[in-house]
Amino acid sequence: MIKLEKQSENNLILNIGPSHPAMHGTIRIVAEVDGEKIVNSDVEIGYLHRGFEKTAEYKTYHKIIPYTDRLNYTSPLINNHGFVLAVEKLLGVEIPERAQIIRVIMDEMARITDHLIDVAAMINETGAITVLLYMMEAREYFWDVFEHTTGARMTTSYIRIGGVKADVPENFRELSEYAIKKTRKILKEVDKLISKNAIFLKRTRGVGIISKEDALSYGFTGPLLRATGILYDIRKFVPYSIYHRVDFEIPLGENGDVYDRYWVRMQEMEQSMRIIEQALDLLDKTNPEKIQSEDINPNEAIKKVKNGETVPLKKIKLSPNLEGMEDNHHKKIYAKDKRFVPPSKQSVFNSIEGLVHQFLFVMEGYGIRPPVGEVYSFVEGGNGELGFYLVSDGSDTPYKLHVRAPSFHLMSSLSQMIKGHYIADVIPIFGSINMIGGETDR
């Protein structure tokens, strides 16, 4: 239980959250207020504890991937990527170019949906409900791409150790370009509605300021660090996958206030779309060779077998939910080392060797076994540096897996940010942090 020592007998101790709607059920702020001005506060997290790190010690490396979706659940694909990069670094496997490109495209789409949700929620909580509706529409376009590509809209579990779950659908470029076109239009509308709106400016400019020095002291990364004017983006300074092959800019703020955090995220969405467009061009150059498949009627197949004829099983087309996992796609989206990747679904359903490989890959006590050692790997998440510190004892489960969650560091500054401001200012300040409970309370 948090206890604040009041600085004055005239002051009041006030609980803001966790049931307050703007706290999203995940944060409790114990504030000492003088009238409506906050003079002191203490912030309590832990209302959405997931136990991710301890759970990971009892799951095989492959089975941990769905749990990463639930860290920052507004950009789960980036969580997938961050985790598998740590495992791959320990394994020393080389990832095919096509898989690298697909990962980056999906990462940037996830970054856009992350920023859309944060900006929409923050502005909605300051009274501009229209923006929420506009931005949720934009999110739907990218979620449609996720659904067609991964089979899920939110918790995707798509990026896998050694590659990606399946190749992208044939109409992937059309879906992506349509989502970008629609989103650009919506962001222009939002910019017209909000960026120069007098009420919004008064609620955000000069509110929740944090200096460059304090931001570094608290361990800020991502949009909040860049909002203070510090030039740092992991994709530029420590590039991974194919980020060194695409051109994009790093938007910077000036004052480190709520408005700058909003503005930086708005600009970053445009840069993410630039990255996607360049990556789509690179992806077209790595298309797998097409294999002519035949849909064989089961009754015809039975007749052929009875007549002593051989049925060409390799030519049977996979069901729609397994498309992109055929042999010709598999070699383009997975590493060559068979010890660390599952077999193609075409192999699983048409050969005993593929079936045995699949069983050994997913069975506990077998599967992926990284060498004994430790590694730290990190990516540019929606809120900043998302890192995974992994310790392997040589078994098929991690000895230790620690997550460097960017939201946790950002939340440590909330007491300082709201000090001296009014109770009403807590809403946009907290919203600008984009605190994700599943990541903070990992």
Amino acid at 164: V
Q: Which tokens sit at 371? A: 């060498």
- Give the pair of three-digit tokens for residue 2: 């948090």
- Reported for 289-297, long-range contacts at CB under 8 A and 24+ positions apart, including other chains, are 289/328, 290/328, 291/326, 291/327, 291/328, 293/317, 293/326
Q: What is the pLDDT of residue 298?
A: 52
**What's the pLDDT at 10?**
85
| Residue 113 tokens, joined | 């949906």
Write down the pLDDT at residue 398: 96
SS3 at position 226: helix
- 124, 118 contact by CB (below 8 A): no
Dihedral angle sign, alpha carbons of residues 118, 121, 125, 130: positive
C-alpha distances in Å from residue 158, one per residue of 54, 161, 201 = 23, 10, 39
Threshold 0.95, pTM exceeds: no
In the predicted model, residues of the chain with pLDDT beneath 70 are 1-3, 290-302, 304-305, 310-318
Beta strands in 176-275 (DSSP E): none
- Residue 181 neighbours by CB distance under 10 Å: 11
Q: Is the dihedral of CA 232, 238, 241, 243 positive or negative?
A: positive
Contact between residue 379 and residue 354 where contact means Cβ atoms under 8 Å apart: no
Sheet holding 37-44, edge to edge: 12-16, 28-34, 37-44
Q: Which amino acid is present at 197? A: N
From 371, 369, 398, 401, select the one nearest 82 (Cα to Cα). Answer: 401
Residues 6+ apart with CB under 8 A from 182: 137, 138, 141
137: nearest Cα among 113, 173, 161? 113
Q: Domains in the chain, start-ordered, CATH in brackets?
A: 52-287+369-440 (1.10.645.10)
Question: Which helix (H) or strand (E) is 42 found in, with range?
Answer: strand 37-44
Selection from 80, 415, 408, 429 nearest residue 221 by Cα:
408
> In 10 A of CB 410, how many CB atoms?
28
Over residues 218-272, the pLDDT tens digits come to: 999 999 999 999 999 999 999 999 999 999 999 999 999 999 999 999 999 999 9
Structure tokens at 36: 């409506």
Per residue in 57-100, pLDDT (tens digit) is 999 999 999 999 999 999 999 999 999 999 999 999 999 999 99
